Amino acid sequence: MRLEKRPEPSRAWMVATPVLAVILTMIAGGVMFALLGKDPFVAIRTIFWDPLFNEQFAAYSRPQLLVKAAPLILIAIGLSLGFRAGVWNIGAEGQYIIGAICGAAVGLAFYPADLFIVFPLMVLAGALGGFLWAMIPGLLRVRFGTNEILVSLLLVYVAEQLVASMALGPLRNPEGGGFPGSRNLQQYSAASNGELIAGTGMHWGVVAAFISVIFAYILLNRHLTGFHIRLAGQSPRAARFGGVNPGRLVLFCMGVSGALAGLAGMFEVSGPAGQIGIDFNVGYGFTAIIVAFLGRLHPVGILLAGLLMALTYIGGELAQFMLGLPSASIQAFQGMLLFFLLAVDMLTNFRVRIGRGAKI
């Protein structure tokens, strides 16, 4: 058995690999659940079927699908632009946290004034916070040639310490009896990101996620910058000869991904999460990497992948409650998606030859 490079990437395998990765994840996940002493078929049904079609849970789960998918899609769209250009922002989790801190700080600064301008200012602050945090690894790469993977990743731990210090210090609720955490922004109407249509889960973060998908599609397919992004990812040398400024492209990709991650954090802290707390971040920035690759770095694919990953969040919580599965097993199940996607994705560029002539 040996690998043989294809003359050009296989379009058929490019389309098939995400589907095959999901199927393999279900099979491997079923084995894992069986080893934990649970019925694998019941576990898979609970994760993928019951949240949408079991009327006992659907009334709660269906709106939550949009709530969970929105930050994943927003962050993944930003990351996909950089990944296409060979700019590896792995620290979106940190940018998500900083965006939440900045947005919440602006909202709390106006408390209790009921002004219409508060929420738009929070949106700007969240985007700016994520943008500036992403500029740190971006500028260091452009100016000193540092590795943006390591710098952006290490900044996540700095951001985690910052959010903890804010929850215990400057942003702590003075009426909270000394407990860590800010005021609940959902109870402050000027800063609340509530449902736009009751019972649907639709809030401004969901709207922003759909808008980001549309703009990313237009950028990649109808704008010169999108052409530069694709060219830089496919052939960096050709991009340089074509007049693409690599430093400017790095800063653009890092800035956009940071701003979108910051927006996701701001919409989350003013909506579903409601407040800045020690455990505010739940890993959306890292999960969005899986969403970006599962969606083939394509805006529409990311939209579908974000909904699928959100379903695993909701179904995973349901499986923990109904079946007693440990939370770590659900995280491992989500990680399997990326593992199998990367493994199967090899068949896009390589064919497997067995013996002398057989091939896949």
Q: Which domains does the chain have, with CATH numbers?
A: 1-22+325-360 (no CATH), 39-322 (1.10.3470)
Residues 6+ apart with CB under 8 A from 54: none
- Nearest residue to 278 (alpha-carbon basis) of 360, 166, 198: 166
225 has pLDDT over 80: yes
Token pair listed for 203: 């809030």
CA 56 to chain centre: 29
Order of strands across the sheet with 358-359?
Answer: 2-5, 350-354, 358-359
Rounded to whole angstroms, the Cα distance separating 103 from 120 reads 10
pTM of the predicted protein model: 0.92
What percent of the chain stands above pLDDT 90? Answer: 67
Which of 23, 40, 22 has the alpha carbon at shortest distance from 31?
40
Average of per-residue pLDDT across 154-173: 94
Lowest mean per-residue pLDDT among 12-21, 41-50, 295-304: 12-21
In the block, residue with structure tokens 């830089």? 232
What local confidence, expressed as pLDDT, does residue 356 receive?
Answer: 64
User: Which residue has 């919580």 as its token pair?
Assistant: 317
Check: CB of residue 129 under 8 Å from CB of residue 99. yes
pLDDT at 358 over 80: no
Average pLDDT estimate for 105-128: 95
Range in 16-25, 238-247, 261-270, 325-334 the model is least confident about: 238-247
pLDDT of residue 337: 87
* pLDDT tens digit sequence for 232-265: 887 777 777 777 888 999 999 999 999 999 999 9
Query: Could you give the CA distance from residue 84 to residue 94 in angstroms, rounded to a whole number?
Result: 21
359 pLDDT above the threshold of 70: no
Residue 354 sits at φ, ψ, to 5 deg, of -115, 120
Mean pLDDT of 275-292: 91
Whether pLDDT at 270 is above 70: yes
pLDDT higher than 90, residue 94? yes
Residue pair 96/85 in contact (Cβ under 8 Å)? The answer is: no
**CA neighbor of 269 nearest in space, from 257, 255, 281:** 281
Please give the mean pLDDT across all residues of the chain.
91
Residue type, 155: L
Percent share of the chain, pLDDT over 70 = 99
- Residue matched to tokens 């959306």: 284
Tell me how far apart the alpha carbons of residues 51 and 63 are, in angstroms, rounded to a whole number: 10
Distance in angstroms (rounded) separating the CA atoms of residues 162 and 343: 36
C-beta atoms surrounding 317 within 10 Å: 18
Query: Given this model, what pLDDT does residue 281 score?
Result: 83
Comparing 235 with 328, which gets the higher pLDDT? 328
- Closest to 167 (Cα-Cα) out of 310, 273, 250: 273
